[in-house]
Structure 1
């Protein structure tokens, strides 16, 4: 298949660029080794935000232990992780559908350069 541009990886920068180029009439593909949307969405930033909020709140509550707060509040990690999966896991499929609407091909696999014009 021939493309005007191929992005290796599908993180934020790639899918933003891919969408703009596809909307401008370019034939675009993303090559992704794991999950569409990249590390930040699926494993890093977004997941960290979901997990960090309750931990940060618990830290602040512990600062008031003995002056109006007790140790009654705890993080139930299995429930918090289930919530994280409920929010994060559908994101790669949702992004794949959004990219498909723009006509962007997603190729799952590992990319390497063969020559100046072939990936």
Structure 2
């Protein structure tokens, strides 16, 4: 069954959330489509997880470089704990993002977006 929307956003990252939210607040019908878990690259697989995973090694490196210059002792990384810390941040994002879209009246679709013609987007699960 074909649905009609004023705006169809492909992807569910930060830019998609902002654009879809503003359009919906203006009274327009909006749908979002993503074949990945909702949340986007930056929050789930890019910027934010990278910052968390790099902070540990950077801290150890800085301590190593400051050894003999007032910093004593050694640091090491427990990778299981660091990954658990990262997942504690990233794992809840897809459900939270879906909830926000739903609360705003934005319809979410999981699957691959394909253009059937210049005005028609199909979702292939």
Query: Under a length normalisation based on structure 1, what TM-score does the superposition of the two structures give?
Result: 0.93
Partner of 2:90: 88
Q: Which region of structure 1 is more displaced relative to structure 2, 100-109 or 58-67?
A: 58-67
Stretches of structure 2 lacking an aligned partner (at least 5 in a row) = none
Distance in 1, matches of 2:68 and 2:80, equals 28
Distance in 2, matches of 1:52 and 1:105, equals 35
Between structures 1 and 2, the one with greater strand share: 2
Query: Under a length normalisation based on structure 2, what TM-score does the superposition of the two structures give?
Result: 0.89
Deviation at 1:41, TM superposition (A): 0.6
1:51 is the counterpart of 2:65: no
Distance in 2, matches of 1:19 and 1:110, equals 21
Deviation at 1:100, TM superposition (A): 0.8
1:10 is the counterpart of 2:12: yes
Task: Give the match's secondary structure for 2:8.
Answer: strand
1:106 to 101, 105, 108: 108
Task: Give the match's secondary structure for 1:25.
Answer: coil
Task: Give the match's secondary structure for 1:103.
Answer: coil
Q: Which region of structure 1 is more displaced relative to structure 2, 68-77 or 103-112?
A: 68-77
1:75 is the counterpart of 2:81: no
Partner of 2:22: 20
Q: Runs (4+) of structure 1 moved beyond 2 Å?
A: 65-72
Partner of 1:38: 40
Task: Give the match's secondary structure for 2:16.
Answer: helix
Task: Give the match's secondary structure for 2:112.
Answer: coil
